[in-house]
Amino acid sequence: MSKAIQIAIDGPASSGKSTIAKKLAKRLAYVYLDTGAMYRSITLLALEQGIEASDNQALRALAEASEIVFKVNADGQSVWVNGKDVTDEIRTDQVSQAVSAYSAVSDVREVLVEKQRDYTKGGQGIIMDGRDIGTVVLPAAELKIFLTASAEERGQRRFLENQAKGYSEMNLEELIADIKRRDLYDSTREDSPLKPADDAIILDSSDMDLDQVEEAIFAYVNKVLSQN
């Protein structure tokens, strides 16, 4: 049997990272970690407690004290912070609009990256999705995918998702503008900007449906597994 590997899936907002990562994790019986949900959780707490993105010390203390737990359920997974289910709350417009500013804070990133690496300690197969997984969190990952699509296509996908789940009040144009704003913020920050790792495979899924993306990435996984 081939050894369990680490898989990093990075890319801009709403490119399909978490949907694909969840499907692959199920197929491979690997652990899946949604690192974006961790940044969203800290943002939610900071907003609730009135902590500004400029207050590095308070944000470090908040991130250190926060217990973020993922529970697998029929829908995929729920996210719990300090004993409370925040699965839906972390997807609201308020959190989406603030999350990039809080994620740019190095004190927050240091604490969360350490918590993310803790998941690899058992040596089990793992898939993480985010912005800096291939570049910072798991630089030795055997497979790194940078999943992207045009902002218009990504906005459309998120719009349909929001309509189904009731997360957002934004119309399609507002959503596309918000996604572009967040991508720009995430890719131009100083600490761990969104960018493909040098050894990442770049996959543009603008014209691919979910099944096609899943199969394309699964083929890369199999190739890597056959070499390990």
x/- letters, 128..147, toward ligand CDP (CB under 6 A): --xxx---------------
Q: Tokens 């500004």: give the residue.
A: 52
Subset of residues 103 to 132 that bind ligand CDP, contact rule: CB under 6 A: 103, 130-132
Query: Does the protein bind ligand CDP through residue 6 (CB under 6 A)?
Result: no
The residue among 174, 163, 170, 39 whose CA lies nearest residue 100 is: 39
- Part in contact with ligand CDP (CB under 6 A); list of ranges 7-15, 47-55, 117-125, 170-178: 7-15
The residue among 50, 38, 13 whose CA lies nearest residue 154 is: 13
Q: Helix, strand or coil for residue 83?
A: coil
Instruction: Give the CB-side neighbour count of residue 136, counting CA atoms within 13 A.
Output: 19
Do the beta carbons of residue 87 and residue 78 sit within 8 Å?
Answer: yes
Nearest to ligand CDP of 28, 147 (CB atom): 147
- Part in contact with ligand CDP (CB under 6 A); list of ranges 35-43, 50-58, 64-72, 80-88: 35-43
For 190, the token pair is: 């100083």
Query: Does the protein bind ligand CDP through residue 193 (CB under 6 A)?
Result: no
DSSP 19-65: HHHHHHHHHHT-EEEEHHHHHHHHHHHHHHHT--TT-HHHHHHHHHH
Among 4, 5, 40, 145, binds ligand CDP (CB under 6 A): 40
**Amino acid occupying residue 8:** A
Query: Does the protein bind ligand CDP through residue 213 (CB under 6 A)?
Result: yes
- Part in contact with ligand CDP (CB under 6 A); list of ranges 44-52, 54-62, 77-85, 155-163: 155-163
Query: Does the protein bind ligand CDP through residue 99 (CB under 6 A)?
Result: yes
What stretches of the chain adopt beta strand conformation (E)?
6-10, 31-34, 68-73, 76-81, 84-85, 126-130, 143-148, 201-204
Residue 8 CB, shortest distance to ligand CDP, in Å, is 10
Residue 227 CB, shortest distance to ligand CDP, in Å, is 26
Query: Does the protein bind ligand CDP through residue 76 (CB under 6 A)?
Result: no
Which residues form the interface with ligand CDP (CB under 6 A)? Answer: 11, 13-19, 35-37, 39-40, 99-100, 103, 130-132, 157-158, 161, 182, 186, 205, 208-210, 213
